[in-house]
């Protein structure tokens, strides 16, 4: 057989009916993740047609977008942002109950942001096809799965038939080699990549991230990278599984155990790009060129090194972005006064992100002007962080330690940034008003975010941390 890419192998293994010029392929889906916002209309569609889900055991549901991150009151009532939000949550509960779909409901120790919990539970496995009515489904590609976001009509298609109509995507290899500089992590890598290839640089493609820099990352970091593939316009992002992946899976509740795990591992190991397989496009990046990276504008392609001058606007859209954000060309993002810091989301709401924050906040105070929210991505992340005392460090520094959910990433649940305020956020989108009408968002790593919270200004975490190391010598 001809050498194939990781994407080719997964694609080939899931074809029910091959594509032709006249029709797309009928493509099989192994795992379907559901949440409250993009599913109610799909269940209604099923009901209207008198259909029921084909394979409920391949569906898992959670509550995350509309859910409060503040605890229940004395009567046990959760502070929902609106009646509509609560109704959405109720609708998912009812739909799951009616069809027998497993739901990680409010109060369940496994609940959390959909892209945090499925990997945590070991539901996400190499070689799988995974979909969810959410564009950041690309996160699961970190395990060598083909995972992508779908619309609500397609949620209905997968519920009813376990299949989607798909045309094969093109492939884009992004190869990153070499050691990372101090203060630079996965978030900086992916922001840098989007800055290089642009917000439509991946359109029509599935990205495979490769190279020694990627191989050296842990699973949390790999998920951060695959998560933001969609911000480069790509359909999905993926990383071939290796010992790091298998070690992670071995510790999850739903992965196979004992001899079955060894068999699974042997099968999973085949999901890699063969030597000599061709990609439609290739981009090479030197890790030494990546600096702590944030965004200055109103889309993720405006990524820039923390101390680099913002370029003169090349077009109207860049001019509008600068004006909206209140930046001038040739300024740096370093030095920008900060009002809000948000650490969380499916991009950076995992235990390693919480640890980065704790490392900076330990023994320090959040700047008096700054409101800082730290929101673990799942109940499991929250418990693990609390077991390490991270909640106490966060609270002692004057930041808020919240209940798990999407929170300020999408600002649907009442956690919002006020108009005109500047937020440094570890989430994935800096669109106008994403964190509340008139809010201004700078995307950043957890390290950059925590350092901004402490100093009150966007600050190079590399410099801050080397000073910190100097202090302790």
Partner 1 sequence: MTAFTQLESACVVLPNENIDTDQIIPARFLSTTTRKGLGEHAFSDWRRDASGQPRAEFPFNQPHNAGRSILIAGRNFGCGSSREHAPWALTDLGLRAVISSQIADIFRNNALKNGLLPIVLDEAIVQELMLRPDDVLHIDVAGNTLRTPDGRRFAFPLDAFARTCLLEGVDEMGYLLARADAISTFEQRREQELAHAG
The footprint of ligand SF4 (CB under 6 A) covers 64-65, 113-115, 134, 136, 345-346, 406, 409-410, 427-428
Burial 50-76 (b: 16+ CB within 10 A, else e): eeebeeeebbbbbbbbbbbbeeeeeee
Closer residue to partner 1 in complex, CB, 162/459: 162
Coil, strand, or helix at residue 277? coil
Closer residue to ligand SF4 in complex, CB, 227/332: 227
Closer residue to ligand SF4 in complex, CB, 162/224: 224
Please report whether residue 161 would count as binding partner 1 according to CB under 8 A.
yes
- Which strands make up the sheet holding 400-401, listed edge to edge? 400-401, 371-374, 340-343, 422-425, 440-443
Beta-carbon count within 10 A of 307 CB: 16
**Residue of 308, 312, 329, 419 that binds partner 1 (CB under 8 A):** 419
Please report whether residue 82 would count as binding partner 1 according to CB under 8 A.
yes
Q: Are 430 and 443 in contact (CB under 8 A)?
A: yes
- 427: partner contacted, choices partner 1, ligand SF4, none (Cβ within 5-8 A by kind): ligand SF4
Q: What is the DSSP string of 385-416?
A: HHHTTHHHHHHHTT-EE--SS-GGGTT-SS--
Q: CA–CA separation, 433 vs 416, rounded Å?
A: 10
Q: Shortest gap between Cβ of 305 and partner 1 (angstroms)?
A: 22
**Residue of 3, 100, 151, 182 that binds partner 1 (CB under 8 A):** 151
The alpha carbons of the chain give a radius of gyration, in whole angstroms, of 22
| Stretch of 21-29, 179-187, 209-217, 354-362 lying at the interface with partner 1 (CB under 8 A) | 21-29
Closer residue to partner 1 in complex, CB, 32/235: 235
Please report whether residue 26 would count as binding partner 1 according to CB under 8 A.
yes
Q: Shortest gap between Cβ of 372 and ligand SF4 (angstroms)?
A: 17
Between the alpha carbon of residue 410 and those of residues 237, 304, 414, 426, the distances in Å are 22, 23, 10, 12
The two structure tokens encoding residue 161: 């038939």
H or E stretch at 60:
strand 59-62
The two structure tokens encoding residue 272: 């890699």
Beta-carbon count within 10 A of 252 CB: 15
Please report whether residue 91 would count as binding partner 1 according to CB under 8 A.
yes
First to last CA, the chain: 58
Site for partner 1 in 436-455 (CB under 8 A): 437-438
**Residue of 45, 105, 274, 400 that binds partner 1 (CB under 8 A):** 45
403: phi then psi, degrees, rounded to nearest 5: -80, 150
Closer residue to ligand SF4 in complex, CB, 65/192: 65
Please report whether residue 66 would count as binding partner 1 according to CB under 8 A.
yes
Please report whether residue 49 would count as binding partner 1 according to CB under 8 A.
yes
Closer residue to partner 1 in complex, CB, 323/387: 323
Site string for partner 1, 379-398 (x = CB under 8 A): --------------------
């Amino acid at each position: 057989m001809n050498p194939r890419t990781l994407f080719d192998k997964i694609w080939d293994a899931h074809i029910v009916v091959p594509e032709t010029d006249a029709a797309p392929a009928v493509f099989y889906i192994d795992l379907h993740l559901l949440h409250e916002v993009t599913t109610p209309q799909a269940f209604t569609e099923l009901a209207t047609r008198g259909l029921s889900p084909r394979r409920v055991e391949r569906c898992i549901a959670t509550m995350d977008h509309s859910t409060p991150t503040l605890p229940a009151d004395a009567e046990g009532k959760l502070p929902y942002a609106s009646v509509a939000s609560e109704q959405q949550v109720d609708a998912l509960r009812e739909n799951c109950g009616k069809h027998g779909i497993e739901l990680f409901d409010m109060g369940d120790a496994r609940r959390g942001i959909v892209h945090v919990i499925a990997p945590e539970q070991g539901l996400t496995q190499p070689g799988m096809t995974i979909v969810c009515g959410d564009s950041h489904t690309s996160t699961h590609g970190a395990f060598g799965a083909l995972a992508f976001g779908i619309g609500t009509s397609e949620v209905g298609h997968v519920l009813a038939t376990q299949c989607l109509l798909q045309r094969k995507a093109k492939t884009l290899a992004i190869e990153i080699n070499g050691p990372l500089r101090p203060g630079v992590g996965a978030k900086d890598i992916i922001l840098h990549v989007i800055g290089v290839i642009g917000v439509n640089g991946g359109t029509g493609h599935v990205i495979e991230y490769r190279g020694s820099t990627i191989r050296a990352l842990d699973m949390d970091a790999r998920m951060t990278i695959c998560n933001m593939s969609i911000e480069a316009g790509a359909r999905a992002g993926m990383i071939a599984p290796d010992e790091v992946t298998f070690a992670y899976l071995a510790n999850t509740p739903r992965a196979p155990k004992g001899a079955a795990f060894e068999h699974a591992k042997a099968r999973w190991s085949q999901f890699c790009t063969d030597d000599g397989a061709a990609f439609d496009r290739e981009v090479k990046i030197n890790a030494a060129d990546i600096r702590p990276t944030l965004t200055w504008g109103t889309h993720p392609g405006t990524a820039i090194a923390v101390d680099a001058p913002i370029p003169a606007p090349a077009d109207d859209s860049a001019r509008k972005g600068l004006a909206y954000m209140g930046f001038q060309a040739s300024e740096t993002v370093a030095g920008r006064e900060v009002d809000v810091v948000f650490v969380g989301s499916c991009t950076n709401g995992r235990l390693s992100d919480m640890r980065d924050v704790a490392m900076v906040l330990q023994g320090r105070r959040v700047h008096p002007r700054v409101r800082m929210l730290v929101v673990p991505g799942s109940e499991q992340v929250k418990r693990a962080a609390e077991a390490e005392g991270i909640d106490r460090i966060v609270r002692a520094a004057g930041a808020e330690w919240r209940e798990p959910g999407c929170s300020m990433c999408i600002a649907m649940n009442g956690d919002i940034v006020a108009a005109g305020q500047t937020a440094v956020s570890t989430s994935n989108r800096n669109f106008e008003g994403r964190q509340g009408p008139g809010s201004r968002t700078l995307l950043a790593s957890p390290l950059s975010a925590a350092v901004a919270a402490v100093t009150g200004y966007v600050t190079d975490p590399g410099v801050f941390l080397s000073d910190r190391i100097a202090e302790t010598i």
